[in-house]
């Protein structure tokens, strides 16, 4: 294992222990509101502090971009951290959330970890060497037709004024695919595309830390990821489509029929 991936794995497991212990005493957890439909708990912050401590102890000169504590340091090596992706699930004791850690080197994704502490599932990828789940090589699914594809999405709950702009492409994809899931963790949705539990996934209005690790998992397991217009601005714009190559292309074709509403949704 790449030494930096090894450190990232240690950091993710440390955060996972904090999160899974806290699931057992949810009534004690204080929830703060960061914004409209945007929540944070002391567990998000504790998990993030543990991750940053592990990473910076090993690599003091590296930079950090983290959901709760923001940016620090200036380096070609940047760790992009979501300590608890799926916070709303976590708050409800709905056991589907993950730790997401990615390393970018000179702006290019290089290492990735997504860790599901409830199922003890560790998804890892290193640029150029593939992706694994608990040490076993993973590949994207082999569904060829959209009608056989199991898709996932996230609803743009913070953009409720534009919900109709989302629903038009949602209903087309619902009618044209096998079915759609909405599980509430972008990092796990991407990890599930990487290992074939899902054939495709799309969502709007995410942040870089939701997507970065999952994006490398998808690419290293033979999948494709991009933005809904077929470009590669998903990390910066937060609008994402991913899937096995055939399903990815068919999803883009459906989304292309909704250009105007997607442009409003993406703005």
Interface contacts to ligand 2AM, rule CB under 6 A: 35, 38, 82, 85-87, 154, 158, 184-186, 203, 205-207, 210
What minimum distance in Å lies between the beta carbon of 67 and ligand 2AM? 6
Q: Which of the choices Ca ion, ligand 2AM, none does residue 76 contact, using the CB cut-off of 5 to 8 A by kind?
A: none
- Residue 85, interface with Ca ion (CB under 5 A)? yes
Q: Which residues contact 231 (CB under 8 A, 6 or more apart)?
A: none
Between residues 98 and 195, which has the closer beta carbon with respect to ligand 2AM? 98
Picking from 58, 45, 42, the residue whose alpha carbon sits closest to that of residue 6 is 58
User: Which range touches Ca ion (CB under 5 A), out of 30-38, 55-63, 77-85, 234-242?
Assistant: 77-85
Beta bridge partners of 99: 115
Among Ca ion, ligand 2AM, none, residue 92 binds (CB under 5-8 Å by kind): none
Instruction: Provide, rounded to whole angstroms, the least separation between the CB of residue 132 and ligand 2AM.
Output: 22
CB nearer to ligand 2AM: give 112 or 246. Answer: 112
Of the two residues 67 and 220, which places its CB atom closer to ligand 2AM in the complex? 67
Judged by CB under 5 A, which stretch of 76-84, 121-129, 148-156, 239-247 contacts Ca ion?
76-84
Best CA proximity match to 165, nearest among 265, 83, 15: 265
Using CB atoms within 10 Å of the CB of residue 88, give its burial: 0 to 12 exposed, 13 to 18 middle, 19+ buried.
middle
Contact string 183-222 vs Ca ion (x = CB under 5 A): ---------------------------x------------
Q: What is the DSSP letter of 74?
A: -
Q: How far is the CB of 100 from ligand 2AM (least distance, A)?
A: 8
112 forms bridges with which residues in the sheet?
A: 102, 125
Residue 136 to residue 100: CA distance in whole angstroms: 19
Q: With respect to Ca ion, which residue has the nearer C-beta, 12 or 254?
A: 12
Q: Are 210 and 186 in contact (CB under 8 A)?
A: yes
Residue (38 or 147) nearer to Ca ion, CB:
38
Count of chain residues binding Ca ion (CB under 5 A): 3
Tokens of 148: 């056989």
Give one DSSP letter per residue of 97-156, joined into a string: -EEEEEEEETTEEEEEEEEETTTTEEEEEETTTEEEETTEE-------SGGG-EEEE---
CA dihedral (179, 185, 186, 191) positive or negative: negative
Written as six digits, the tokens of 72 are: 């620090």
Pairing of strands 63-66, 70-72: antiparallel
Partner interacting with residue 191 (select from Ca ion, ligand 2AM, none; CB below 5-8 Å by kind):
none
110 touches Ca ion (CB under 5 A): no
For ligand 2AM, the closer of residues 43 and 186 by Cβ is 186
Tell the smallest beta-carbon distance from residue 70 to ligand 2AM (Å).
Answer: 15
| Chain residues that interact with Ca ion, rule: CB under 5 A | 82, 85, 210
């Amino acid at each position: 294992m790449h030494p930096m991936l090894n450190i990232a794995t240690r950091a993710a497991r440390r955060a996972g222990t904090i999160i899974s212990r806290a699931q057992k005493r949810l009534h004690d957890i204080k929830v703060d509101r960061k914004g409209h439909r945007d929540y944070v708990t002391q567990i998000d912050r504790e998990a993030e502090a543990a991750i940053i401590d592990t990473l910076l102890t090993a690599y003091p000169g590296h930079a950090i971009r983290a959901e709760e504590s923001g940016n620090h340091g200036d380096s070609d090596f940047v760790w992009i951290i979501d300590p608890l992706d799926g916070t709303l699930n976590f708050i409800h004791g709905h056991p589907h959330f993950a730790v997401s850690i990615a390393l970018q080197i000179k702006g290019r994704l290089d290492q990735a970890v997504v860790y599901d502490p409830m199922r003890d599932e560790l998804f890892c990828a290193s640029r150029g060497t593939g992706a694994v789940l608990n040490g076993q090589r993973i590949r994207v699914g082999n569904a060829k037709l959209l009608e056989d594809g199991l898709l996932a999405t996230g609803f743009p709950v913070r953009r409720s004024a534009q919900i109709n702009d989302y629903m038009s492409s949602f209903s087309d994809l619902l009618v044209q695919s096998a079915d759609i899931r909405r599980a509430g963790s972008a990092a796990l949705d991407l990890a599930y595309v990487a290992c074939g539990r899902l054939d495709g996934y799309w969502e709007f209005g995410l942040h870089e830390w939701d997507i970065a690790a999952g994006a490398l998992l998808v690419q290293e397991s033979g999948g494709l990821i991009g933005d809904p217009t077929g470009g590669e601005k998903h990390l910066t714009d937060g609008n994402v489509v991913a899937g096995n190559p055939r399903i990815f292309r068919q999803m883009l074709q459906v989304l292309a029929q909704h250009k105007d509403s997607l442009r409003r949704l993406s703005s």
